[in-house]
Amino acid sequence: MTDDVLTHSSDESDLLSGRCSPADQEPEILSLRPGRLSEYIGQADVVETLKIAIEAAMQRGEPIDHVLFHGPPGLGKTTLAHIIANETGTHLTITSGPALEKGGDLIGLLTRLEEGDILLIDEIHRIPKTVEEFLYPAMEDFAVDFMFDKGIHARSHRYRLNRFALVGATTRVGLLSAPLRDRFGIFRNLNFYSIQDLEIIVKRSARLLEIEIDPQGATELAMRSRGTPRIVNRLLKRVRDYSQVRAEGIITQKTTQIALNLEGVDKKGLTSLDRRYLKTIIDYYHGGPVGIEAIAATLQEESDTLVDVVEPYLLKIGMILRTSSGRRTTESACEHLASLEPFSA
Ligand code: ADE
């Protein structure tokens, strides 16, 4: 993976392929995750859509429509899948696109789902085409079609599934095929969180972890978390360590600044990978425009990591522009980097 701070997805081995009740997984992270829509902070329109869909489906005694969440890592796609299962009193099964190598892998999961269960496929844009084709009848008719023999002897057998809801999660909605995209009834983008929402989230997490944090400490953490709850919760733990060992145990603006500077997280929340990315465009390519593959080669990083993890936030805060001829840095990126000297990449 990339910079620690930006680490976002669980190991593939963590992505359970077996059915579980939501509370079985990631006990520490889960305890910080809201378990109910009423506890969920931010993404107000998505929360409202889900409240309506869940209530309506429960009144009808049906599973909710299939849901697709897209957006940068760490914004709550998996958390919302856990919440949907909690709210509907069903089980959640989690897998990922790359873990589903063969049709049989998916069929094994589908046939074990009980009525109303939720199946989360993370990184659904990476599902192999051959496996994707089994999803179409499963989503549309709650059935899987088995083929026996080939050529003129070919026969198919339709196996009925329990009715379930698929939750797809992706950082790259543009890579989804149209037939797959069109089979989701609910299709929502998750946006970066405001500083105010992150302050509320970090205060809630501090309360759950029994950490003392003052309002300025919460604001500083929120400002350095790239609009991302997963990052604010991770950084909270780093600042807790620092405050415990090098200060009086209370998280303040000062302890947050020192602890996060040590982590390489600057006042705008950029990490060393973000700064190296910006500097590469400025120093090697005169501010751009430059193609993503050239930047990736210079940085010796995967272009997918840059596109999924680094660029969305830099675009959001206006430090880069994506044009038809490539990426360009803006004046604000140059000013930010200059303001950090000598604290730089
Ligand atoms: N923890 C992580 N994300 C959260 C959210 N959106 N609301 C409340 N707590 C959270």
Q: What is the mean pLDDT of each run of 10 residues along the chain (345 residues)?
A: 31 38 47 94 98 98 97 98 98 98 96 98 98 97 90 90 98 97 98 98 97 98 98 98 95 98 98 98 98 98 97 98 96 97 62
Kindly provide the b/e burial profile for residues 184-222, where b requires at least 16 CB atoms within 10 angstroms of the residue's own CB: bebbbebbbbeeebbbebbbebbeeeebebeeebbbbbb
- Does residue 146 sit in the same domain as residue 257? no
Q: Does the CB atom of residue 34 touch ligand 1 within 6 A?
A: yes
* Domain closes at, from 130, 156, 189: 189
Instruction: Please state, in angstroms and rounded to a whole number, the distance separating the CA atoms of residues 235 and 228.
Output: 11
> In one letter, which amino acid is 35?
G
Task: Exactly one of 2, 3, 33, 78 is catalytic; name it.
Answer: 78
| Residue 283 domain flag | yes
| Residue 26 domain flag | no
- Does residue 56 sit in the same domain as residue 185? yes
Instruction: Please state, in angstroms and rounded to a whole number, the distance separating the CA atoms of residues 328 and 44.
Output: 32
Q: Strand, helix or coil at 104?
A: helix
* Domain closes at, from 206, 240, 263: 263
pLDDT for 178 equals: 97
Task: Exactly one of 3, 117, 122, 197 is catalytic; name it.
Answer: 122
Instruction: Please state, in angstroms and rounded to a whole number, the distance separating the CA atoms of residues 314 and 291.
Output: 16
Q: Using CB atoms within 10 A of its CB, is residue 286 exposed (0-12), middle (13-18) or buried (19+)?
A: exposed
What CATH number is attached to the domain comprising 333? 1.10.10.10
Structural contact between residues 15 and 99, judged by C-beta atoms closer than 8 angstroms: yes
- Domain limits at 219? 195-263
Structural contact between residues 2 and 72, judged by C-beta atoms closer than 8 angstroms: no
- Does residue 63 sit in the same domain as residue 153? yes
- Does residue 67 sit in the same domain as residue 208? no
| Residue 213 domain flag | yes
pLDDT for 5 equals: 29
- Does residue 226 sit in the same domain as residue 159? no
| Residue 138 domain flag | yes
What CATH number is attached to the domain comprising 226? 1.10.8.60
What CATH number is attached to the domain comprising 42? 3.40.50.300
- Does residue 43 sit in the same domain as residue 184? yes
Instruction: Please state, in angstroms and rounded to a whole number, the distance separating the CA atoms of residues 219 and 216.
Output: 5
Instruction: Indicate the pTM of the whole model.
Output: 0.90
Peptide bond into 215 cis (omega under 30): no
Structurally, how many domains does the chain consist of?
3
* Domain closes at, from 166, 189, 212: 189
pLDDT for 341 equals: 80
- Ligand 1 nearest-atom number relative to CA 39: 8
H/E stretch holding 145: strand 143-148
| Residue 107 domain flag | yes
- Does residue 235 sit in the same domain as residue 299? no
- Does residue 183 sit in the same domain as residue 254? no
| Residue 5 domain flag | no
Instruction: Please state, in angstroms and rounded to a whole number, the distance separating the CA atoms of residues 168 and 212.
Output: 37
- Ligand 1 nearest-atom number relative to CA 33: 1
Q: Does the CB atom of residue 32 touch ligand 1 within 6 A?
A: yes
Cα–Cα distance list, 184 to 156, 254, 264 (Å): 26, 47, 40
Task: Exactly one of 2, 3, 77, 329 is catalytic; name it.
Answer: 77
- The total of other beta-carbon atoms located within 10 Å of residue 110's CB is 22
Going from the Cα of 41 to the center of ligand 1, the distance in angstroms, rounded, reads 6
In degrees and rounded to multiples of 5, residue 148 shows phi and psi of -115, 145
- Does residue 257 sit in the same domain as residue 309? no
| Residue 9 domain flag | no
Instruction: Please state, in angstroms and rounded to a whole number, the distance separating the CA atoms of residues 229 and 279.
Output: 27
Q: Does the CB atom of residue 227 touch ligand 1 within 6 A?
A: no
| Residue 18 domain flag | no
- Does residue 116 sit in the same domain as residue 214? no
- Does residue 50 sit in the same domain as residue 137? yes
- Does residue 288 sit in the same domain as residue 156? no
Going from the Cα of 229 to the center of ligand 1, the distance in angstroms, rounded, reads 6
Cα–Cα distance list, 221 to 29, 92, 236, 237, 260 (Å): 18, 32, 7, 11, 9
Structural contact between residues 67 and 84, judged by C-beta atoms closer than 8 angstroms: yes
